[in-house]
Amino acid sequence: MSQEAAVFGETSPPGKSLYTPFNVIAGIILIVGFVITILRFTKGLGAVTNLDNNYPWGIWIGFDLMAGVALAAGGYVTSAAVYIFGMKRYHSAVRPAILTGFLGYALVVVALHYDVGRPWRLPYPFIMQQGTTSLLFEVAACVALYLTVLFIEFSTAPLEWLGLKRARSIVVRLTMVLTIFGVILSTLHQSSLGALFLLAPSKLHPLWYSSYLPVFFFVSSVIAGLSMVIFESTLSHRYFAHKMDETHLAEKEGVALGFGKAASLVLAGYFTIKVLGISMDNNWHLLGTGYGMWFLVELLGFIALPCFLYAVGVREKNLCLIKWTSGLTVLGIILNRLNVCLIAFNWHLPSDEKYFPHWMEIGISVFVVTAGIVVFRFIVTRMPILYEHPDYKDSH
């Protein structure tokens, strides 16, 4: 494909049918999700969820928000590596990571509307609320500000696409400031999401409850960011390789090896502080219980094992192993957030009073993820995300 075709977003030969398996499946999911959305905002939470007084936070918070924010951390992790620590060899990973982060945070805000309702009152806490010491206020403020930072960082691609050179040059000059601001905001709200559960010591199982929860959430977000960059890069090289220039194709191996090595080291540290958390609270005896066995599945199967596999993959330069390990690690982060928010929450309740999401709750989560994939696909096939725009090669 010519560079001109890539710039103007030509993604398929003329006459190709729109009724591809992806388009059909995505279309069905979006239609069903739209119908459930109407039911949610016209009939209320009770019509589409299994939430109650014991479980006011369901899968929309546990998965869409808690896991979504962690998995969107690739933006600040990659920007910090390239612009603050000077690792220019990973520059090709910045724009895809920023796009993934921006879409991730945008979809978190969208998903939050389903849980909270009344989207027209979204600015209310910033205008009326005086409780600025609230953790929820701090999370809301940081997420709102960081979403703005991500939008500005991402805007260089659409500005190049639209040919707005002057506006693009202004944004580029702000790169370092935006990166530093983004890292600060991410450190605050990633840790504060964990701090929210410090308010519920009697509800969260002791193996997951710890005074180090803010540290756990922040460190695991770094792991999630590193792994998501590898995971997203793997999928992009599989489905959008025709949109990539020589630079992106040449640097893909280095990105996987470098981020895999970093993920292995951070996972080792994360494993260590998780074990220290058990020791500090003297909860060793709980490992022999049913919840203890489940905790060990998370600790050994989704922290220790990926740490080992990443290390082996980097040492042997086994890209396939690194890519599969990134998927395993992403699943581990999702499992951890679901454990803290849902599975190990209200652990003392009998099984018949436990929360299990309504199929419509799951449908909305699938709808939100699908919408993100569709938007991501639209952007990378039209804008200079996976290649350098020919008019700006000297300024990248």
Conformational region of residue 346, where left means phi above 0, alpha means psi within -120 to 50, and beta covers everything else: left
Per-residue pLDDT tens listing for the chain (396 residues): 444 444 434 444 445 677 888 899 999 999 999 999 999 999 999 999 999 988 999 999 999 999 999 999 999 999 999 999 989 899 889 999 999 999 999 999 999 999 988 888 877 777 776 666 778 888 888 999 999 999 999 999 999 999 899 999 999 999 999 999 999 999 999 999 999 999 999 999 999 999 999 999 999 999 999 999 999 999 999 999 888 888 888 888 999 999 999 999 999 999 999 999 999 999 999 999 999 999 999 999 999 999 999 999 999 999 999 999 999 999 999 999 999 999 999 999 998 899 999 999 999 999 999 999 999 999 999 999 998 888 776 555
Distances 111 to 104, 114, 139 between C-alpha atoms, Å: 10, 5, 15
What local confidence, expressed as pLDDT, does residue 319 receive?
A: 95
Q: At what angle do helices 213-239 and 175-195 cross, to 10 degrees?
A: 120
Report DSSP state, residue 298. I
Q: How many domains does the chain have?
A: 1
DSSP alpha helices (H): ranges in 174-304? 175-195, 213-239, 246-281, 290-296
Report if residue 15 sits inside a domain: no
What local confidence, expressed as pLDDT, does residue 138 receive?
A: 86
CATH of the domain at 45: 1.20.1630.10
What local confidence, expressed as pLDDT, does residue 2 receive?
A: 43
Report if residue 392 sits inside a domain: no
What local confidence, expressed as pLDDT, does residue 395 receive?
A: 59
In the Cβ-directed half-sphere of 339, how many Cα atoms lie within 13 Å?
23
Secondary-structure breakdown of the chain: helix, strand, coil percentages, each rounded to the nearest 5: 75, 0, 20
Cα-Cα-Cα-Cα dihedral sign, residues 254, 241, 178, 326: negative
**Residue 173, domain extent:** 3-8+20-387
Residues 37 and 364: beta-carbon distance below 8 Å = yes
What's this model's pTM, rounded to 2 decimal places? 0.91
Report if residue 395 sits inside a domain: no
Collapsing DSSP to helix, strand or coil, 282 comes out as coil
Report if residue 127 sits inside a domain: yes
